[in-house]
Structure 1
């Protein structure tokens, strides 16, 4: 997301969205406040992996989902849903190197 958004809103813009997303996560999900605080103290996206690695799998997944959803929603309110979708299309689409999902329908 950083790579996709930096040319449009700059590094400081991406960092500001990240910090705001962390703040909103902590206020909307008080049980995640300690993780948000650790991520905020880490000062950057590159340190987020280390913070997530310290969490239980369930907490890490929940935090990641909440953070990404909050970031996406915040970006959508700022630049609109169409532009957000276009800018982040490559981020959300599965990689060609990923194994194809199996059809489990009867």
Structure 2
């Protein structure tokens, strides 16, 4: 996401969106506020990974989902839904090597 967005909103813009996403998540989900507080304000994926591996699987999934959804929504308010979807298409789509969880036959 960082690489896709830096060209559009700059490195500082991406970091600001990340920080704001963390703040909004902490205020909306008090049970995870301590987790959010332990992350640095900069866009540090290593620190985020360290926090996630310390959580239970359910909390890590919830934390990641809430953070990514909040980040996506904030970005959409800045640049619009179509450009957001286009820029992040490669991030949200499953890779070609992933097997589908269920195939629908005609």
TM-score, length basis structure 1? 0.89
Contact 2:75 2:84 in 1 (8 A): yes
Deviations along 1:41-88, one digit per CA (max 9) or x if unpaired, are 686223211110011111111100000000000000111111101110
Q: Does 1:8 align with 2:8?
A: yes
Q: Does 1:85 align with 2:85?
A: yes
Aligned length: 105
Output the aligned Cα RMSD.
Answer: 1.8
Contact 2:39 2:51 in 1 (8 A): yes
TM-score, length basis structure 2? 0.89
Query: Counting helix residues as a fraction of each chain, which structure ranks higher?
Result: 1
Mind listing any 5+ residue stretches in structure 2 that lack a counterpart?
none
Q: Secondary structure at the match of 1:40?
A: coil
Task: Give the Cα separation in 2 of the matches to 1:27 and 1:62.
Answer: 15
1:7 Cα deviation after fit: 1.2
Q: Secondary structure at the match of 1:39?
A: coil
Residues 49 and 42 of structure 1: CA distance in aligned 2, closer, same or farther (over 3 Å): farther
Mind listing any 5+ residue stretches in structure 1 that lack a counterpart?
none
1:20 Cα deviation after fit: 0.4
Residues 18 and 8 of structure 1: CA distance in aligned 2, closer, same or farther (over 3 Å): same
